[in-house]
Amino acid sequence: MLETLSDRLQSALSDVRSRGKLTEEDVAKAMRQVRLALLEADVNFQVVKEFTAAVGERARGGEVLDALNPGQQVVKLVGEELTALMGGSARDIAFAPRPPTIVLMAGLQGSGKTTACAKLARHLREEHGRDVALAACDTYRPAAVDQLVKVGSAAGAAVYEQGTDPDPVEIAAWAVDRARAEERDVLIVDTSGRLHVDRELMEELARIRKRVKPHDVLLVVDAMTGQDAVNVAEAFSDAAEFDGVVLTKLDGDARGGAALSVKAVTGKPILYASTGEKLEAFERFHPDRMAQRILGMGDMMTLIEKAEREFDEEQAAELERKIRKQQFTLDDFLAQMKQVRRMGPLSGLLKMLPGVSGLGLGDLKVDDRDLDRLQAIITSMTPEERAHPEILNGSRRRRIARGSGTTVQAVNQLVKQFGQMQKVMRQLQQGKMPSLSQLAGGR
């Protein structure tokens, strides 16, 4: 996600970052590099110009140049301006005082509307406890209704559909009545896409809009299409009002042009970001956190929120107790691993840690299959072996390797790592800070 942009911007700033003293010329040079980095990221030309002018002006002020750490001040300024560029603060949809809140999803073909309908439904249910229904108003593509039924039910939402024969406007109006009768909190209306922003599409949207009077119209745009996404959003905003943007396929977008330009060009904020094919790969768009990620400062807030969502509080307390009493077993290790895995792919999680993206690992990949292997090894052990790995002699290790489809070396490595981990835990317990190499498993 936004790797190229992040790399380029960080290298543009690496020169000033560590400097104890900066001249106006240094700042100007850094701004030229920031400008190039943003242009390369496919950020709108006008947006780049205004951005670098704003940062440059602030950076030339005495507040920055005379500061103790002027380089870091410049980086901080860039972060603040990036945040402002992406819309400042985050916002969710606004719930109507009298339910159902009606949300209309619009966008080009394949931008990710139908997927986003289901993801938003899941988000509103999980984060806000709302009862959500979806309306299948894409009568343009025959398979669209089935797709919405499938992803919608997976998201735990009711799906209202009448096939593809009726007029989409009639389906939408019927769905609103039904949502009201069934006392749903939110109704999300999926609409059809077209290849271009054409008159037919705009008229259909305008008719649905006039009839059901949505509280929020969300425009779904594909981040991978870069400047095209911004042009589409601009064309939409010329032809019809919308309230906010859902940015999809951010996982496949290395350059970030759409994320950085869409707010500045259309004046409409990005409400949500979709970051993968799975239902859970959807989050509120936080400009400040995104700016921090781009500048390699990690995103601890999102990581902590994910952990809070997935980690069982009681289990966490129990774990703490075990660590304190030094009763942490391989079973606990396995349980921990499963919880961490529920938070998403490891490589994605690692990138949220401050500094990790700046380690120059480039395309950091942690193989989730490594975890599968560890899991297989531990589940091939008897309960006694899991509680007392010290009894694992040669023949037991060979049996476990066979049972888990791995090798004795892999079993040895796991046992060794677990031993290291216990040692680190004991040291933490005694108030000593472990060294980094110990934390990394002694490798």
Give the strand pairing for 282-284 and 270-274. Answer: antiparallel
Q: Phi/psi of residue 23, each to 5°?
A: -105, 170
- 25-33, 54-62, 107-115, 229-237 -> range binding ligand GTP (CB under 6 A): 107-115
Q: Find the helix or strand (DSSP H, E) in which 306 lies.
A: helix 300-310
DSSP letter string, 354-368: TTTGGGS--S----H
x-or-dash string of contact with ligand GTP, 246-285, rule CB under 6 A = --xx-xx---------------------xxxx---x----
Shortest CB 355 distance to ligand GTP, Å: 27
Using an 8 Å Cβ cutoff, are 48 and 97 in contact? no
- 137-145, 373-381, 392-400, 422-430 -> range binding ligand GTP (CB under 6 A): 137-145
Shortest CB 160 distance to Mg ion, Å: 15
200-239 binders of ligand GTP (CB under 6 A): none
76-105 binders of ligand GTP (CB under 6 A): none
In angstroms, what CA-CA distances link 37 with 44, 63, 255, 370?
Answer: 12, 25, 10, 35
Q: Considering CB distances under 5 to 8 angstroms, the limit depending on partner class, which of Mg ion, ligand GTP, none binds residue 249?
A: ligand GTP
Size of the site for ligand GTP (CB under 6 A): 21
| Nearest position to ligand GTP, beta carbon | 193
Tokens of residue 388, six digits: 């007392």
Rounded to an integer, what distance in angstroms lies between the CA atom of residue 374 and that of residue 413?
Answer: 10
Which are the contacts of 390, defined by CB distance < 8 A and separation ≥ 6?
none
Rounded to an integer, what distance in angstroms lies between the CA atom of residue 179 and that of residue 389?
Answer: 57
Counting beta carbons within 10 angstroms of the beta carbon of residue 365, is it exposed (0 to 12), middle (13 to 18) or buried (19 or more)?
Answer: exposed
Strand, coil or helix: 60: helix
The rounded radius of gyration (Å) of the Cα atoms in the chain is 26
140/311 with CB nearer ligand GTP = 140
x-or-dash string of contact with Mg ion, 100-119, rule CB under 5 A = -------------xx-----
Shortest CB 284 distance to Mg ion, Å: 22
- 37-45, 108-116, 155-163, 422-430 -> range binding ligand GTP (CB under 6 A): 108-116
Q: Considering CB distances under 5 to 8 angstroms, the limit depending on partner class, which of Mg ion, ligand GTP, none binds residue 115?
A: ligand GTP
Residue from 56, 71, 152, 193 binding ligand GTP (CB under 6 A): 193
- DSSP annotation of 430 reads T
Shortest CB 168 distance to ligand GTP, Å: 12
33/275 with CB nearer ligand GTP = 275
137/410 with CB nearer ligand GTP = 137
Dihedral angle, C-alpha 139, 141, 116, 173, nearest 10 °: 0
Q: Considering CB distances under 5 to 8 angstroms, the limit depending on partner class, which of Mg ion, ligand GTP, none binds residue 33?
A: none
In total, the chain counts a number of residues equal to 443
Partnered with residue 160 across adjacent β-strands are 135
Can you give the binding site for ligand GTP, defined by CB under 6 A? Answer: 107, 109-115, 138, 141, 144, 193, 248-249, 251-252, 274-277, 281
